Structure 1
Amino acid sequence: MRGLKKQRRIQVIMLATVCLAGAAALIGYGFRDGINFFRPPSDVVAAPPPPEEVFRIGGLVEEGTLVRGQGETITFNVTDGGASVAVAYTGVLPDLFGEGEGMVGTGSYVDGVFQATEILARHDETYMPAEVIEALQDQGVYRDPGSS
């Protein structure tokens, strides 16, 4: 009887381990397209990601680089003070998007240009995404608007 209990306990532990590994694999599979890592322009220039990788980039829209092309294609540079990355976006930009303003874009880096599929901008005069603030603070560029 004692040997049967020990064998049953080992079987239950093995089954639980297999179920846990299966659940972890399913969670990883489900998140494979849903996780986008944030990178400041300095990191993108220093170590360009492969073209098939989707990630988020953020910083300030560089002054004098916003060009509205033919149709809906817009190009501009995003900078964190240390480096600048060219961005191309086809679509409608948020209302508060402009030069010198903070932005976060989702897309991929192809042939030296970040091909954005989504652009997010601030939603009021004082807001800037936390990731952008951190990247700008790391470069020594960010100054708190409340401390002026």
Structure 2
Amino acid sequence: MNPRRKKRLGLALALVVGAGATIGLMLYALNQNIDLFYTPTELVNGKPDGSKPIVGQRLRIGGMVVEGSVKRDPKSLKVSFRVKDIGPEVTVTYNGILPDLFREGQGIVAQGELVNATTVMAHEVLAKHDENYMPPEIAEAMEKSHKPLKYSDEQKQGTSL
């Protein structure tokens, strides 16, 4: 092999190794920041592929707040409530101010860490709302601007003056 080909081969190998190392380090860094989404049933029973979260794992859980399950500490901002889907219930604890749309029977997504098999300590709680939601001011403006026109008898008949 002549020296020119050796240089090119060395450069190509260095590029491939460098790109591989860069991609590997990026994936390793991103892996620590991934929060997997679970439903209460998947959290307790595991996902269909058999994977279950481990204690201390960061995750997101989504479901409906169980009626009558919200318990607030009167001396602090600590709140505890249960979330469920079609299966078992999971307890979520949170220390902070809940969103305005949060209420029993409402869908939520909580982001936090798994404390045990059925408890999540959340550091963020998001309340879901109906996709058809529209602020009252916009709804009123749309009603005013989209009212059907009232025609006079002459306009209905197609005659004009």
Structure 1 unmatched runs, 5+: 129-148
1:50 and 1:16 map into 2 onto residues whose CA distance is: 38
For each residue in 1:49-74, what CA deviation from the matched residue of structure 2 results, as whole angstroms up to 9, or x when unmatched? Answer: 22221010001111111111231111
1:7 Cα deviation after fit: 0.9
**Match for residue 81 of structure 1 among 86, 107, 131:** 86
2:95 aligned residue: 90
1:37 matches 2:36: yes
Q: Which amino acid aligns with 1:4?
A: P
Larger radius of gyration: 2
Q: Which amino acid aligns with 1:98?
A: R
2:21 aligned residue: 22
1:127 Cα deviation after fit: 3.4
Q: Which amino acid aligns with 2:16?
A: T
Structure 2 unmatched runs, 5+: 47-51, 133-161
1:31 Cα deviation after fit: 1.6
Q: Percent same amino acid at aligned positions?
A: 32
1:21 and 1:99 map into 2 onto residues whose CA distance is: 49
Quick check: 20-29 or 69-78, which moved more? 20-29
The TM-score, its normalising length taken from structure 2, stands at 0.70
2:138 aligned residue: none
After TM superposition, list the pairs within 5 Å mapping 1:1-148 onto structure 2.
3-47=2-46, 49-70=53-74, 71-111=76-116, 112-122=118-128, 124=129, 126-127=130-131
The TM-score, its normalising length taken from structure 1, stands at 0.76
The higher-RCO structure (CA 8 Å, 6+ apart) is: 1
Instruction: Count residues in correspondence.
Output: 125
- CA RMSD across the alignment: 1.8
1:10 Cα deviation after fit: 1.3
